[in-house]
Amino acid sequence: MDRRTFFSGAVLAASVSKVALAALPEPVIATTPATAPPLIPTTGRPYNPVVTLNGWTCPWRMNAGVKEFHLVAEPVVREIAPGMQARLWGYNGQSPGPTIEVVEGDRVRIFVTNRLPEHTTIHWHGQRLPNGMDGVGGLTQPQIPVGKTFVYEFVARRPGTFMYHPHADEMVQMAMGMMGFWVTHPKAKTPLVAEVQRDFCFLLNSYDISPGSTTPRPNTMLDQNLWTWNSRAFPGIDTLNVRQGDQVRIRVGNLTMTNHPIHLHGHEFVVTGTDGGPVPPSARWPEVTTDIAVGQMRQIEFVADEPGDWALHCHKSHHTMNPMGHTVPNMIGVDHRGLVQKIQKLVPDYMLMGERGMADMGEMQMPIPDQTLPMMSGAGPYGPIEMGGMFTTLKVRKDQKPGDYSDPGAYQQPPGTRAFEWTGSLAEPARPAAVAPTDAVQVHKPGAHSGH
Ligand SMILES: [Cu+2]
């Protein structure tokens, strides 16, 4: 976290108390996509705050023992990654909206103002609450009309990892980015909830935004072209920076329309909680990939004891890509020799790609239209990272200071610990002559007789 970001966090915290006597707390707006430092509670019961990846925690005010928040549903502009701004809908200037952090047993009052062009509601996913506070438009309450403010009030009855989102014109409003994280911290020490040094959270979301445009298409069901964490795509997702030996918790919720197997390199973790609450210790098992289904939340924990830069990503390889055409013909293994010169007579800029795979795309940085992202991107100390979408890095460092979330830069690997090129002689395997690979690429035309 640089100083500027830190101070913007401090300003956020201060701007609520200023209007403490108003009937309704002034909404706090944030527009930077940077990860805000943890919001240390200065009122209410103490707790160890979370860090929202490329996001922030909503400041509150205490009013006669009640924790009051003000969410404003409104159109926002969100930078998906440098070079691409999207016109989304969200809360308080951002998509996702700010994280709400409370303590088990807190009475919470949330003012929700609707500045969207259509009605909305908020559903508090996973909470125990009175039926009339559940936020299902038409079923448990009338929708919040445009321009109106509704009040939700309930006690945060159990600790855990939750989220919020509209239950009104859901398909459109979630496809447009309306969602936020909710964390209820335990009120006392409990064996069900470990004390950790780093506690991160983010939501899985996805968008279909045609290259050159800015507004998501809500009618796309599965073929979204932007797979994002907190409405950010690699290389726009911040790294998770921790100190070696830290107990780390990562909380993830899925509001896309498909599952995401989230995979961590270099460490095993255990799933310590779901949106149903903490998992009893006897029911936890080690994993390195946990599948998060649609509408689910997972809370994973591990000791970050291996120094390095460790990939953290969705294991669906199409979800670690930025916009790509799914209808382009497959060129792998197709022999283009002689064809390129002929095509270049007609199309001088024609480039041959894809014949040997697509790794060239990571290096080449072809010109792309404004308002989209390269399919694979990111520069590492050893070359192009060739990723996009749901990908970032867990950075474990011996000298990362407690409470310091700043990016320590690339990991310096100790000499002699990196994969290296073998320069000695190669032992050739004995292969049957009939299946020996040939250098020439064979083109088989449909319907043509191969002749053997
Ligand atoms: Cu995925």
The more confident residue out of 229 and 339 is 229
Give the pLDDT score at 431: 83
Q: What b/e sequence results for 342-354 when a residue is b if at least 16 CB atoms lie within 10 Å of its CB, and e otherwise?
A: eeeeeeeeeeeeb
pLDDT at 167 over 50: yes
pLDDT digits (tens, 9 = 90+) for 378-396: 889 999 898 999 999 999 9
Average of per-residue pLDDT across 278-300: 97
CA–CA dist 306, 318 (Å, integer): 28
Neighbours of ion ligand 1 (CB under 5 A): 260, 314, 316, 319
What's the 253 CA to ligand 1 centre distance in angstroms? 12
* Ligand 1: centre distance to CA 260 (Å): 4
Cα–Cα distance measured from residue 133 to residue 135, given in angstroms and rounded to the nearest whole number: 6
- Residue 7 has what pLDDT? 41
- For the purposes of burial, counting CB atoms within 10 Å of the CB of 23, is it exposed (0-12), middle (13-18) or buried (19 or more)? exposed
Quick one: which H or E segment has residue 341?
helix 339-346
CB atoms within 10 A of CB 378: 18
pLDDT at 18: 47
What is the Å distance from ligand 1's center to 314 Cα? 5
282-289: average pLDDT = 97
Per-residue pLDDT at 450: 44
Give me 380's structure tokens: 């590492």
Share of the chain above pLDDT 90, in %: 73
d(C-alpha 144, C-alpha 97), whole Å: 18
Q: Could you tell me which residue, 325 or 452, shows the higher pLDDT?
A: 325
Neighbouring C-alpha atoms within 13 Å toward the C-beta of 180: 26
Give residue 340's pLDDT. 77
Instruction: Report the distance separating Cα 405 and Cα 9, nearest Å.
Output: 13
Q: How far is the CA of 371 from the centre of ligand 1 (A)?
A: 22
Domains of the chain with CATH codes = 3-312 (2.60.40.420)
Determine the distance separating the centroid of ligand 1 and the alpha carbon of 256, expressed in angstroms.
9
Distance from the CA of 57 to the center of ligand 1, in angstroms?
25
Whether residue 325 is predicted with pLDDT greater than 90 in this model: the reply is: no
Distance 393 CA to ligand 1 centre (A): 16
- Confidence check: pLDDT of 246 > 60: yes
* Span of 54-63, 212-221, 368-377, 412-421 with lowest mean pLDDT: 368-377
pLDDT tens digits for range 7-33: 444 445 444 444 445 688 899 999 999
Report the pLDDT averaged over residues 264-285: 96
User: Please, which pLDDT band fits residue 77 given cuts at 50, 70 and 90?
Assistant: very high
pLDDT of residue 10: 45
Confidence of residue 71 (pLDDT cuts 50, 70, 90): very high
Choose the weakest-confidence range: 142-151, 177-186, 210-219, 391-400: 210-219
Mean pLDDT of the chain: 89
CA 291 to ligand 1 center in whole angstroms? 9
pLDDT band at 5 (very low <50, low <70, confident <90, very high): very low
Distance 388 CA to ligand 1 centre (A): 11
Question: CA gyration radius for the chain?
Answer: 25
Count CB-CB contacts under 10 A for residue 383.
10
Contact 150, 141 (CB under 8 A): yes
pLDDT band (50, 70, 90) for residue 341: confident
